[in-house]
Every structure is written in structure tokens, then in C-alpha cells.
Structure 1
Amino acid sequence: MDIRRQIPAAFQRVERSKYGYNAKQVDQFFQRARVSFENKAEASEKIGSQDVRAVSFDPVKGGYDASVVDAALDRLEDAFARRERDDLIAAEGEDAWLLKIGKLSGVLRGRLHRPDGERFRRPEKKRTRGYNIAEVDALCASLIGYLENDKPLSVDNVRRAAFSEAKGHDSYEEAQVDAFLDRVVELMAAID
């Protein structure tokens, strides 16, 4: 796979008065990712799909358009996930990959099959912001359909999931939902 097709030569910038991603940080990360992908054995910094999923950039006026960079990050993450899958299969066989996917799927299904309104922790303080419970539960229902009934669902739908704000015990704790969705993306990227 040619990683250069996954990363544009230059990203579009937003207007000078609007916020975008810090161009220097973005360029440095994509350069490190390219080196790591193309020369895995020689790269001083090993980057994987999880690193791509977790990267963040500072907002600056006139920076790179976040939606364009995010789309490139999604393609890059998918490329790393495919390589990681192929490397695991080459090193340990397809059964090892299936076992890894099965374990992760089992962990995720355990939470998905909890009753609506009980899938994630609630914030301890009344004024703490969290995610709308019904919206998170609706996505979880779609994930069950994807994992168990072969219903179509794009990994990008999960990556871009956004939930309305709720507060206190009327919400799910953001950090726990986000961590769970990261694992879902990891699984979906490895499968697709």
C-alpha cells in the first residue's frame, strides 16, 4: 500500500480569523507516521493505529481545516490497522488474529448488552457535563446490529459520533464512553 495516497501533500487552511489545527504539529505527525509506515524497522518512533486515533493538535487561527485533517487521519488509521492485521496474520496465523478480534468483540458485547441507561457510569457531581444517555444507547443498539446481525455501519459513523450534552446523573460519563468507542473503532478498523 502506498501511504502517500492516504496523506495529502498539503492540507487546506481555514480563514485567518477561524481556528484550525496547528499546521506544524500536523505536518510533523504525518511525517513521523509516513516514516513509521514506510520504514517500520528503521523508524525511531513506532506509530500504530492507536497512536493515530489518539493524536490531537492545538487549535490556532488560520490553521489546517480540522475536517480535512480528520478525514486523512481516518484513512491513515485504517492503513495502519490493515497492516497490523496483516502483520499479525503473517507472524502468528489467521487463528491468532481471529482470537484477538474475538476477545475484543466479547469485551465490547458485554457492555453493549447491558440494559439501556446502565451501559456506562454516571458523573458523580450534579453539574458535571456528560453525554445524552438515549443517544449513546441508540448508537449501542446500532453496534449490536453491526456485530451480531451483519447490519451495515461505517467505522466513520462511530468515529464521528456526537452526543448532546447532559448533566450529572442524567448523562453518561464522557471519558468512559469515549474509551469504549475507541475500542469499537479499533475492532471495526481491524475487521473492515
Structure 2
Amino acid sequence: MALDFQRKIPASFERVRGNEFGYNAKQVDQFLQRARVALETPKAAIHAVTSADVRGVSFDPVKGGYAAAVVDAALDRLEDAFARRERDELIAAKGEDAWLREIGSLSGILRGRLHRPDGERFRRPSKKKARSYNILDVDNLCYDLIGYLEEDKPLSVDNVRRVVFRCAVGKDGYEETQVDAFLDRVVELMAAID
């Protein structure tokens, strides 16, 4: 698993032009080095790294930094590698039934929100002019997720990772942080299943 991941991650990433913003190269390199150690030799790692850590990492924007799309693609592969290891470790420690119970529990929580009525799946921002996500866009993704979870319709975890919603303002949309937190759990589930 670690060797497969290493073959897919370049030693250095493509950079954007000097006047464009990209990810801080030093931060990216430090995080990936820490993640490689945690993936290859978890017992020797000073800092444990999980799939959630990879999913939640962010880097400062700097001029001439690494191209975000290339780094994001590498992080997606890294997250998948950690998710597979976490699944395998849980199965080895507690058995496949424990893994299935965990997946079933998370799936049940997600389905509860997915089956709420249109326009009521997530809360609205409390501030009038706060940025929010277009309700129709989010609800449409929820239908795709129901199809994936309940009707075995194909949906890539990368589609969920890269989804872009049109902007709304205030109560005309869903609160961004709640939708983002929900999608993090969806990605967690999909990465564990696939």
C-alpha cells in the first residue's frame, strides 16, 4: 500500500506562475513527509495521521506556490490510502462485523439528513448577508447520494470531494459549514466503502 502511494505522489509538484497563488510549498512538503512516515511506519511516526487529517489539511496561499489541483489530487490518493489502512486495522482488530456496524451506523446518520424534505436538509445562516450554498445544488447532490447509498448507482468519491455549489446569500441558501461537515462524513464513508 505505501509503495503504491509513493509511486503516485511526485517528489515535487508543478508550480503556478510567479504572479499566481498556489499552496505554500514548504507546508505541503512538510505535511506529505509526515504523512508518508505515518503511512509507511506508523509505529515510528511522531505524529499520527488519519484520513480525517488528510481531508482537513489546508495550506496558506503564496505566489508561485504548488498548483492546488495537483496537490489536491495527491491528497485524495493519500486520504484513500489512510482510509483503506484504517478499515483493514479495524477489521484485523475487531472483525469484519465491527467494520460493517461502523459503516452502517455512519450510513444511517447520513441517510437521516438525506431524507429530509427539499430545502430543509441543512440550517440557514444566522447572519443576513452571510455566504451560503445554493439550496437546489445541495439538494441535487443529496439525491445523487441517495442513489449511491440505496440504489447502488455509481458515484465517485472524487465527485463529492470536488463538488462546487453556486453561491447564495443568507437565508436563501444552506449554511456552508454545516454542508461541508456533512460532506466530510460522506467522503469518509465512501472512502471506507470503495
1:35 match: 37
Read off the aligned partner of 1:128 and give its amino acid letter: A
Q: Matched residue pairs, number?
A: 192
1:110 match: 112
CA shift for structure 1 position 5:
1.9
- Select which of 50, 56, 72 maps to 1:48: 50
Read off the aligned partner of 1:163 and give its amino acid letter: F
SS at 2:171's partner residue?
A: helix
Aligned partners of 1:125, 1:95: CA distance in 2, in Å? Answer: 44
Aligned partners of 1:182, 1:27: CA distance in 2, in Å? Answer: 23
Aligned partners of 2:138, 2:21: CA distance in 1, in Å? Answer: 28
Aligned partners of 1:129, 1:10: CA distance in 2, in Å? Answer: 35
- Select which of 136, 139, 152 maps to 1:137: 139
Aligned partners of 2:126, 2:46: CA distance in 1, in Å? Answer: 42
2:191 match: 189
Aligned partners of 2:168, 2:67: CA distance in 1, in Å? Answer: 28
Single out whichever of 137-146 and 3-12 deviates more from structure 2.
Answer: 3-12
Aligned partners of 1:5, 1:184: CA distance in 2, in Å? Answer: 27
Of all paired residues, the percent bearing the same amino acid is 73
CA shift for structure 1 position 117:
0.1
Read off the aligned partner of 1:127 and give its amino acid letter: K
Aligned partners of 2:126, 2:151: CA distance in 1, in Å? Answer: 35
Contact 1:7 1:30 in 2 (8 A): no
Aligned partners of 2:128, 2:13: CA distance in 1, in Å? Answer: 41
Task: Mark the runs of 5 or more structure 2 residues left unpaired by the alignment.
Answer: none
Aligned partners of 1:5, 1:40: CA distance in 2, in Å? Answer: 19
1:75 match: 77
SS at 2:132's partner residue?
A: strand
**CA RMSD in angstroms, aligned pairs only:** 0.6
CA shift for structure 1 position 125:
1.9
Task: Mark the runs of 5 or more structure 1 residues left unpaired by the alignment.
Answer: none
1:124 match: 126
Q: Is 1:161 the equivalent of 2:163?
A: yes
TM-score computed with the length of structure 2 as normaliser: 0.98
CA shift for structure 1 position 6:
3.5
SS at 2:54's partner residue?
A: helix
TM-score computed with the length of structure 1 as normaliser: 0.99
1:14 match: 16
SS at 2:62's partner residue?
A: strand
Aligned partners of 1:87, 1:151: CA distance in 2, in Å? Answer: 28
Aligned partners of 1:123, 1:46: CA distance in 2, in Å? Answer: 35
SS at 1:176's partner residue?
A: helix
Aligned partners of 1:42, 1:27: CA distance in 2, in Å? Answer: 19
Contact 1:6 1:76 in 2 (8 A): no
| Cα deviation digits, residues 102-127 of structure 1 (max 9, x gap) | 00000000000000100000011221
